[in-house]
Amino acid sequence: MISASAFALALLVAQPKPVAQASPPRDSWFGADKLKHFFVAAFTQSVAYSALQAARVRHDHALAGAWAVTATVSVAKELHDKRTTGLFSVRDLVWDAAGAGVATALLTHSQRSRSSTEPEAPEPTAQVYWGQTPIRRPEPSAHGGGAVHR
């Protein structure tokens, strides 16, 4: 009986102690990781905006869509980090928002306006008919008059 008790006590003593869980990684406000978040979010915002503009989406709607894309990418990255490293960083999201905000400010203030060398887009014209015969509109003359005299 003593040997069974001694064996049980030896097992308890020899059993490895549970290792203390490693603390989650330290999350500071500044560092190389935060700069990466800033610039990747700015890049994502710019690319999403440009893609929407290329699809002929209005400026304000393209900005809103770019914000949605950037926010989705940023939150997805933090959810991935939570699964892999155990840290969901609100500070990373703040840097993401700052990068997207700076990109938005640059996009808003650098909207391309038509230069004086670019031709104006022609106004759409409709052909007017009198019965089966098309009616010609008078063209302005070079001397500033109304109709062209021929």
- End-to-end, the C-alpha distance of the chain in Å comes to 129
**Residues paired with residue 129 on neighbouring β-strands, in sequence order:** 134
Going 59 to 63 to 66 to 68, the CA torsion angle's sign is negative
Contacts of 78 (CB under 8 A, 6+ apart): 88, 89, 92, 93
pTM, rounded to two decimals: 0.58
Max Cα-Cα span within the chain: 129
> Domains of the chain: which residue ranges?
38-110
List the chain pLDDT tens, one digit each, 150 residues: 455 555 444 444 455 554 455 565 678 888 888 999 999 999 999 999 999 999 999 989 999 999 999 999 999 999 999 999 888 999 999 999 999 999 999 998 886 654 555 555 555 566 677 777 777 766 666 665 555 555
